[in-house]
Structure 1
């Protein structure tokens, strides 16, 4: 089995370092921490047809709106290649089992959120049906760090864990954008990403065939047209009211790519020089900075914020998502004859489901859209941080089962 590139582990360490620094800061000097996050660098007044409300440029907004789209596009590239390339993990009939697991995990997390919030109550600020988007997403990089410790560097379960985490992350962002009650959706702006995609496809990305000249082939290898199209796509997504983190995803689908997939974040991809992999190579170091900044701006954990919402988050991630994921896979296996990977045993599927119960990066990105703010949001953030303890639990269970 192929090996995952070590830079993914460095992403995890960068994110954890930012979270650790933010947590120390928010517990020692909370006022200065929140003031720094919301420091108004510039007030931007745009035409009403473009942005109904004035926009204040703050450090937190720069990270979430301007930097995180690169991370989401980076992981989205892996999902796209898994779908369309030869031997991709979700190519053709192989897509059925992972899709069933992704949908099952999302449905399980949502149902547990609704049931737990109804049974335990979450205060007047959080009415029934609010916040269910939070536990849908997961955490690609931290789940990878723990899955590697559980399964080893080249185990097929590691790659299944990555695939499910990426799918849940993107689904969580899409659901948040489409159901955010405070968002003013102006979906006509999505014409811009569509135009950018068509333009890049026709002028640059489309296979010119054997008769094309060298100038056309050089133009296909150029990266700047994709950068321009990426900006146009991001602008259209932001103006539409959808999460800006999704802004670069449409362009990923039309950038020329390799003919075969070596697997998710495969180490062998460092040897590929197609435009899609070249862009990914250039983004490796900047994305480590992006994740550190994200941990710094979204990862400050207030330990005094424990409330009922914390328990609702944990129930959704620790119980709802793993059970839903397993049920989705079981239905795919038994009812439709789907296959996930020939080398996986039932206990390894269970460990993959438990690791999926770790959720921080994308859920933290959706908190302010899904929740009303204040103590409810901070209590949910504490729950997300505590959910990471599922990783050590999965590691302990793997050692116990290994001895048996």
Structure 2
């Protein structure tokens, strides 16, 4: 589709997505594959390795929680995965604030309706099924309700690329919905079940970090900047320090460490124009936010492999009522809610469908939104008690990947039908 026709219809065309997104997918799948083999062949050695206590210290009373326990799992989830959330959070922020961003102005309404509908649909089915089929008597029936919110960003994009092709505008919509629902999911999980007693005073640290960046980025009244001013404006270490301070405050407050870098994103200077989510063109931009993102590309492939290895081990014998709850929420509640929310928003505000996206494409996006693995698994320890219930949920999220071939088969059937 030509960019001009897409712009006239009010939707940014799908720019070429950088190939590193597919490398992320294969790194994640590689880690999951190795972990699944290991946990099914030798579960004891797998859990001994992943839960090995590297550090165990008593915490001061003024920090949330009683004991600081560092394991390979917590290193990956709390220290490394915040880099991934920063990477995808940057894309969502730019879509909201940049010129021609995919979520600027009225463009935000239809995706927002889809996101809200998807989360409410998943929540309704989770609560309904949990109320009827309680997994354990000692577990509250609504336990884990934020888990099905998160959609699969990386694997979802690869699946969508196979379903729609590499340049279809529906891919852009799928990425927007996946990123937004994932961030909402991990935020809801952290607020609903904080790690230990919540200590909100520690959230002053992210606020101070943002205030320091706002002061640093204050602009001189004149346009006659010296070369020294320009170089100082391009240095990255202040943003890295602010991110570290923000992360420390979030963790000390008892919230998931994965959220720790998100507060500083709006305060980092960014480009003036959007090129699309994960656009290959962004590799040629030199603003601080894009430079930070570029510096993470190679490390994140390793991070996602380690996440798959430490958190992606799927016990194939863990099937339980929670598995069904996960699948119904992701395969039924979320897609139906997404469709209802998007179409309701379009009707209320008289919105056209995004350029190049038809109703049947929206149906396929809804089905692909039923894939949820990375962010839901990241939130498992926060949202659910450990043990059999968590393993049953992990199996359910792994099985949700079957929405991938289902969407692919449906897309081929729709093409044949014309």
- Report the TM-score when normalising by structure 1: 0.97
Q: Determine helix, strand or coil for the equivalent of 1:282.
A: helix
2:226 is matched with which residue?
A: 213
Distance in structure 1 (CA, Å) of the matches to 2:136 and 2:55: 35
- Report the TM-score when normalising by structure 2: 0.94
Give the counterpart of 1:363 among 358, 371, 376: 376
Distance in structure 2 (CA, Å) of the matches to 1:206 and 1:160: 35
Q: Determine helix, strand or coil for the equivalent of 1:253.
A: helix
2:293 is matched with which residue?
A: 280
Residue 73 to residue 340, structure 1, CA distance change in 2 (3 Å): farther
Residue 206 to residue 371, structure 1, CA distance change in 2 (3 Å): farther
Q: Determine helix, strand or coil for the equivalent of 2:135.
A: coil
Would you say 1:108 and 2:115 are equivalent positions? Answer: no
Distance in structure 1 (CA, Å) of the matches to 2:258 and 2:70: 16
Alignment of 1:78-89 (within 5 A): 78-89=91-102
Does the CA-based 8 Å contact 1:205-1:256 persist in structure 2? no
Does the CA-based 8 Å contact 1:118-1:128 persist in structure 2? yes
Deviation at 1:367, TM superposition (A): 0.9
1:37 is matched with which residue?
A: 50
Give the counterpart of 2:203 among 186, 190, 204: 190
2:176 is matched with which residue?
A: 163
Alignment of 1:97-176 (within 5 A): 97-176=110-189
4+ residue segments displaced more than 4 Å: 205-209
Alignment of 1:162-311 (within 5 A): 162-180=175-193, 183-204=196-217, 206=219, 209-311=222-324
Does the CA-based 8 Å contact 1:125-1:372 persist in structure 2? no
Residue 13 to residue 207, structure 1, CA distance change in 2 (3 Å): farther
CA deviations over 1:229-252 (Å, ceiling 9, x no partner): 110010011111111101001111
Residue 209 to residue 194, structure 1, CA distance change in 2 (3 Å): farther
Does the CA-based 8 Å contact 2:243-2:264 persist in structure 1? yes
Does the CA-based 8 Å contact 2:64-2:199 persist in structure 1? no
Distance in structure 2 (CA, Å) of the matches to 1:287 and 1:187: 30
Distance in structure 1 (CA, Å) of the matches to 2:270 and 2:220: 11
Distance in structure 2 (CA, Å) of the matches to 1:53 and 1:309: 29
Would you say 1:338 and 2:351 are equivalent positions? Answer: yes
CA deviations over 1:102-133 (Å, ceiling 9, x no partner): 11100100100011112333232432111111
Q: Determine helix, strand or coil for the equivalent of 2:38.
A: helix
Residue 307 to residue 190, structure 1, CA distance change in 2 (3 Å): same
2:6 is matched with which residue?
A: none
Computed over aligned residues only, the root mean square deviation of the Cα atoms, in angstroms, reads: 1.3
Unpaired segments ≥5 residues, structure 1: none
Unpaired segments ≥5 residues, structure 2: 1-13
Number of aligned residue pairs: 404
Residue 76 to residue 182, structure 1, CA distance change in 2 (3 Å): closer
Would you say 1:70 and 2:80 are equivalent positions? Answer: no
Deviation at 1:340, TM superposition (A): 4.8
Distance in structure 2 (CA, Å) of the matches to 1:236 and 1:372: 25
Deviation at 1:209, TM superposition (A): 4.7
Does the CA-based 8 Å contact 2:194-2:254 persist in structure 1? no
